[in-house]
């Protein structure tokens, strides 16, 4: 029975470690945003969000062990998104008045 | 891998079947990235053009609800990922429990969101004739309601998808596809959280 319990924990150990990291990042990003006068707040918030998303996608969504085809499809969605955001923003950034 | 996994038409073997489900769901999720991406594009432009007013409007959100709901979703994703691994190890009862926990957490998210919406409404933060603030502030709140509303609809669908496999206790390959959908809804929230609750603080 004891051996069975140990392996039960062993099975869910990777998701639990990921969860711990994600909660630490949540606490970090929230406290940094409320820190008076801290620099680069938008970049920090976006960077930590990206890190959290990467942890979820690599461990929970198992992209780490996925095939090349699946990874390609997953990355392409975000590549189109990057194009959409960059080009929309460039339009406004380059307007003269 | 496990005796409980059944081979369905039109797949020739279990490996291809798993890959097919995974690829199909990721393809759908890539379209979802662009669905939410369109919304985020409006956010990026407005925040770029009117940084001060946008920060003022964002300061009206209630971060306590946001933090609580982020933690709830992260916990639920962990429960789903655990359920998936337990299913593969043949521990169906524990996996079922994990799925139910995720469903309960999903409902908890919606309840918290409900309280938050009621709070927002009472403070006149719904865009429209009764909105308290400038048109640019209103555009932040239009994003807030649209994005969180669309996210909530996805969550309701996710609870249904997980509840169905938890109820029938069938560890099919479709559990993996459903789990991917659930984690994606979590990823969307991970980006919504700082965009809505952490702007203009401190």
**Predicted confidence (pLDDT) per residue in B157-196, tens digit:** 999 999 998 888 665 678 999 999 999 999 999 999 999 9
Quote the minimal CA–CA distance from A2 to chain B in Å.
Answer: 15
pLDDT at residue A2 in the model? 47
Residue in B40, B183, B199 closest to A60 by CB: B183
* Stretch B23-30: mean pLDDT: 97
Question: What are the chain A neighbours of B201 within 8 Å (beta carbons)?
Answer: 33-34, 41
Chain B contact present for A72, CB below 8 A: no
Residue A8 or B166, more confident = B166
- C-alpha span between B142 and B144 (Å, rounded): 5
d(Cα A10, Cα A6) in Å, to the nearest integer? 6
Please tell me if residue B124 touches chain A, with a CB cutoff of 8 Å: no
Tokens representing A72 are 């390609």
B interface test, pick of A6, A46, A74 with most B CB neighbours within 10 Å: A74
> Are B22 and A70 a contacting pair at CB < 8 A?
yes
Is the model's pLDDT at B71 over the cut of 50? yes
SS3 of residue B202 by DSSP: coil
Half-sphere exposure of residue A10: CA atoms within 13 angstroms, side-chain side: 7
pLDDT > 90 in chain B, percent:
81
Give the confidence band of B1 by pLDDT, cuts at 50, 70, 90.
very low
Over 70: is that where the pLDDT of A96 sits? Answer: yes
Among A6-10, A64-68, B15-19, B157-161, which is the least confidently predicted range? A6-10
d(CA B4, CA B94): 15
Mean pLDDT of the A15-28 span = 98
**Counts of helices then strands in chain B (DSSP H, E):** 6, 0
* Average pLDDT score over residue span B134-157: 97
Cβ atoms of B144 and B196 within 8 Å: the answer is yes
Q: What is the pLDDT of residue B56?
A: 95
B77-131 confidence digits (pLDDT tens): 999 999 999 988 888 889 999 999 999 999 999 999 999 999 999 999 999 998 9
| Interatomic CA distance for residues B122 and A37, integer angstroms | 31
ipTM of this predicted structure: 0.93
Testing the interface with B: which of A56, A63, A65, A68 to mutate, by most B Cβ within 10 A? A56
CB within 8 Å: B45 and A92:
yes
Residue indicated by tokens 């990206």: A50
B130 contacts: CB under 8 Å, gap ≥ 6: B124
């Amino acid at each position: 029975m004891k051996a069975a319990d140990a392996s039960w924990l062993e099975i869910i150990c990777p998701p639990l470690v990921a969860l711990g990291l994600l909660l630490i990042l949540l606490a970090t990003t929230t406290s940094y945003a409320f820190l008076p006068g801290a620099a680069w707040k938008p970049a920090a918030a976006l960077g930590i969000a990206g890190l959290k998303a990467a942890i979820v996608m690599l461990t929970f969504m198992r992209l780490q062990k996925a095939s090349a085809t699946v990874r390609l499809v997953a990355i392409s969605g975000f590549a189109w998104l990057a194009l959409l955001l960059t080009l929309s923003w460039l339009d406004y950034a380059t307007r003269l008045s | 891998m496990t005796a409980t996994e059944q081979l369905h038409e039109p797949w020739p073997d279990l490996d291809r079947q798993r890959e097919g489900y995974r690829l199909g769901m990721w393809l759908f999720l890539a379209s979802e990235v662009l669905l939410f991406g369109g919304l985020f594009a409006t956010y990026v432009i407005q925040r770029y053009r009117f940084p001060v007013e946008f920060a003022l409007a964002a300061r009206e959100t209630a971060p306590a609800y946001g933090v609580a709901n982020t933690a709830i979703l992260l916990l639920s994703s962990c429960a789903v990922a655990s359920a998936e691994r337990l299913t593969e190890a043949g521990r169906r009862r524990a996996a079922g429990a994990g799925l139910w926990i995720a469903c309960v957490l999903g409902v908890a998210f919606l309840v918290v969101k409900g309280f938050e919406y009621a709070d927002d409404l009472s403070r006149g933060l719904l865009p429209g004739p009764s909105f308290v603030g400038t048109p640019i502030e209103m555009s932040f709140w239009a994003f807030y309601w649209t994005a969180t509303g669309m996210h909530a609809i996805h969550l309701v669908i996710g609870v249904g998808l997980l509840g169905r496999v938890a109820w029938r206790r069938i560890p099919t390959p479709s559990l993996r596809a459903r789990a991917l959908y659930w984690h994606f809804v979590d990823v969307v929230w991970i980006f919504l959280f700082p965009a809505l609750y952490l702007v203009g603080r401190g």
